[in-house]
C-alpha cells in the first residue's frame, strides 16, 4: 500500500528547508561583510599565570594597528575565501604585506588539526557532527596551514557571531620571543558590528609533550577591532592583489593538492636555513614548477 504523508508534515518539511536556507543566507552575509578596507587595532595582554617557575615573566602587552584590506577571492555555494593584506608605511607610497587568509566551508568534514611542533593531524568528521556549521580554516602568509575549527553562526538579539575553540601554532609576536610553550589554545569569536567586526580571543598557552597531559602555562586576552573605512584608502593593497593574484592562485593550488592527500602533515620550519614564506615572497618563485618544488621540500 502506498504510504500517504500527512499534508502538515509536508508543509513542516518545506518550512524547515526554507528556514535553513534563510539561516545560511544570513551566515553568508555575515562572513562576506568582513571584506573591505579596515582600520585595525590589535590588542593582546597576558592575564593569568599558572607557571610554577618563580622567575616566570609574562609576555608584554602588545598593541599595534594599521590598514587591512580583506579581498574576496572565492565565492561559491559552500565556500567563501578572504585574503587579508596589510597596508603599512607612508600613505603616499605604502608597503603591502600579504597577511593571513581565512576560508569558510559549509558543513565541511575534512580537518587538519594542529598538534604542536609544526604538525597537523588529519581528522574526518561525520556529516551529522557539522550539520549547519561553517568551518573557518586559517592559513599562514605562505598559505600553509595554521588552525581551523567548525561551529554554527549565531544570529540572535541583533547579534551576529561565530565562536570556536581550537589549537593553533604560536603567533609571530610570541614565537619570535618565547620557546617555553608550543601550542596556543585559541578561543575565537568573530562578531559583526555596526562599524565592522571584532575578533575576540580567549587564548591558553599550552605545553604539549607526547605521552603526557597538556600543561597550562598562562592565559591571554586578544581583542582586535576592524573598523570599516572607505575602500579607496586600501587602493594600494587592492592594486597589489590584482598584480599578484595569479601567483598566489598557484600557491593555493599546490597546497590544495597537499591537503587532498588526507594524511597527517608535518612541515620543516626551515629549508637551507630559510623559512617558506621567504622563498614564496621572492619574485624568483613565480612559476608553478618552482612553487610546487619549494613547497614539497618543506613537507616531511
Give the mean pLDDT per block of 10 residues along the chain (300 residues). Answer: 52 54 94 98 97 94 96 97 95 93 98 96 98 98 98 96 98 92 97 98 97 97 98 97 98 98 97 97 96 98
Q: Which CATH class is domain 15-233?
A: mainly beta
> CA separation (Å) from 260 to 40, 104, 264, 299?
34, 17, 11, 14
CB 294 within 8 A of CB 267: no
Confidence (pLDDT) at 12 = 45
Cα gap 204→46, rounded to integer Å:
9
Alpha-carbon distance of 38 to 239, in angstroms, equals 16
Distances (CA, A) of 158 to 191, 196, 220, 280: 11, 14, 28, 42
Pairing of strands 110-114, 79-88: unpaired
Q: How many angstroms separate the CA atoms of 106 and 116, rounded?
A: 26
pLDDT on residue 15? 47
Q: What is the rounded CA–CA span in Å between residue 155 and residue 176?
A: 38
Q: Scan for cell 544570513, then name that residue.
A: 26
pLDDT of residue 77: 93
The pLDDT assigned to 21 comes to 77
CA atoms of 203 and 46, how far apart (whole Å): 9
d(Cα 144, Cα 98) in Å, to the nearest integer? 13
Contacts of 165 (CB under 8 A, 6+ apart): 149, 185, 186, 187, 188
Residue 181: the pLDDT is: 96
Is 70 within 8 Å of 84 (Cβ atoms)? Answer: yes
For residue 9, the model assigns a pLDDT of 52
Report which of 242, 215, 149 is spatially closest to residue 187, judged by C-alpha positions. 149
| Enclosing H/E stretch for 133 | none
Report residue 57: phi and psi, to 5°: -115, 125
SS3 helix, strand, coil % of the chain, rounded to 5? 25, 45, 30
Amino acid at each position: 500500500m502506498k504510504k500517504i504523508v500527512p499534508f502538515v508534515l509536508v508543509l513542516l518539511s518545506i518550512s524547515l528547508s526554507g528556514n535553513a536556507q534563510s539561516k545560511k543566507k544570513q551566515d553568508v552575509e555575515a562572513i562576506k561583510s568582513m571584506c573591505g578596507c579596515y582600520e585595525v587595532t590589535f590588542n593582546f595582554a597576558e592575564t593569568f599565570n599558572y607557571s610554577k617557575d618563580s622567575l616566570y615573566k609574562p609576555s608584554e602587552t602588545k598593541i599595534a594597528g594599521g590598514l587591512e584590506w580583506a579581498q574576496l577571492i572565492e565565492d561559491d555555494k559552500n565556500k567563501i575565501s578572504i585574503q587579508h593584506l596589510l597596508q603599512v608605511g607612508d600613505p603616499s607610497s605604502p608597503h603591502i604585506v600579504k597577511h593571513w587568509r581565512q576560508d569558510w566551508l559549509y558543513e565541511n568534514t575534512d580537518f587538519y588539526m594542529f598538534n604542536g611542533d609544526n604538525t597537523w593531524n588529519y581528522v574526518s568528521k561525520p556529516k551529522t557532527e557539522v550539520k549547519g556549521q561553517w568551518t573557518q580554516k586559517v592559513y599562514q602568509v605562505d598559505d600553509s596551514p595554521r588552525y581551523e575549527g567548525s561551529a554554527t553562526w549565531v544570529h540572535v538579539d541583533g547579534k551576529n557571531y561565530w565562536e570556536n575553540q581550537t589549537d593553533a601554532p604560536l603567533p609571530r609576536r610570541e614565537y619570535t620571543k618565547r620557546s617555553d610553550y608550543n601550542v596556543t589554545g585559541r578561543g575565537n569569536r568573530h562578531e559583526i558590528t555596526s562599524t565592522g567586526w571584532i575578533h575576540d580571543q580567549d587564548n591558553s598557552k599550552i605545553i604539549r609533550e607526547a605521552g603526557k597531559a597538556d600543561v597550562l602555562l598562562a592565559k591571554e586576552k586578544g581583542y582586535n577591532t576592524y573598523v570599516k573605512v572607505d575602500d579607496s584608502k586600501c587602493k594600494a593593497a587592492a592594486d597589489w592583489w590584482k598584480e599578484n593574484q595569479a601567483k598566489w592562485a598557484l600557491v593555493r593550488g599546490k597546497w590544495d593538492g597537499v591537503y587532498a592527500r588526507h594524511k597527517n602533515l608535518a612541515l620543516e620550519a626551515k629549508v637551507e636555513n630559510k623559512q617558506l614564506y621567504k622563498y614564496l615572497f621572492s619574485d624568483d618563485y613565480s612559476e608553478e614548477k618552482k612553487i610546487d618544488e619549494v613547497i614539497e621540500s618543506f613537507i616531511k
